[in-house]
Chains A and B, each alone.
Chain A
């Protein structure tokens, strides 16, 4: 089973700053099958990025994804107040198995 490790656990930033979130896989992941989600308290997750770099419908262009192999990154170019939330990466691989990372909380500094 592929393990996804997200870092940092918590990111303390101010509105307007750039956020860089990391997702590292224990073995190579197909870029086609790497996704990112945003979750706010009391809400279901929302798909942000699929295929490592494609934005889901309605997602603002300040969200971008990149990476390949075992290292993937979610970047929020300028944090808006509504972007403070927990972010999860997810992969789909052989077996077939699907796993989530442990999450990164982006909090207001």
Chain B
């Protein structure tokens, strides 16, 4: 069974750095046919793609957030980590990680999401 689970702080202060971890099971981060994406969703709003990483360590970032994001993976731990610097209240959202398939670049398995609130 393929699962992804997000973990990280529930509350961060403005200007702080957010670090989120996605722990996957049921597939390997070394599998060339898949990667992991991060997506967020502010309350009541649409989905926003943030970044993804593939087995060959190829990384891509949202153009609008590129300067603030870093994605990395630890294949041995089956974990993908996303950091976002200089957090602001507008970054309050549910953050999801999802498996992305290189065949069609759709995201076929999603984590449950983790809610992050940015407030002083």
User: Could you tell me the distance in whole angstroms from the C-beta of B115 to the nearest C-beta in chain A?
Assistant: 11
**Residues of chain A whose beta carbon lies under 8 Å from any beta carbon of chain B:** 1, 32-33, 35, 37, 39, 44-47, 50-51, 54, 56-57, 88, 90, 92, 95-103
Enumerate chain B interface residues (CB-CB to A < 8 A): 37, 39, 46-49, 52, 60, 62-63, 96, 98, 101, 104-108, 110-113
- Given known contacts A88-B47, A100-B47, is B113 in contact with A51 (CB within 8 Å)? no
B-side interface mostly: strand
Closest 8 CB pairs of A and B: A92-B105, A50-B106, A35-B106, A44-B110, A50-B104, A100-B47, A98-B49, A51-B104
A96 CA / B35 CA spacing, docked (Å): 14
Q: Choose among B52, B106, B113 the residue that contacts A47 (Cβ–Cβ < 8 A).
A: B106
| A and B contact pairs by CB, cutoff 8 A, 9 listed | A35-B104, A45-B107, A50-B108, A51-B104, A56-B106, A56-B108, A88-B47, A97-B60, A101-B46
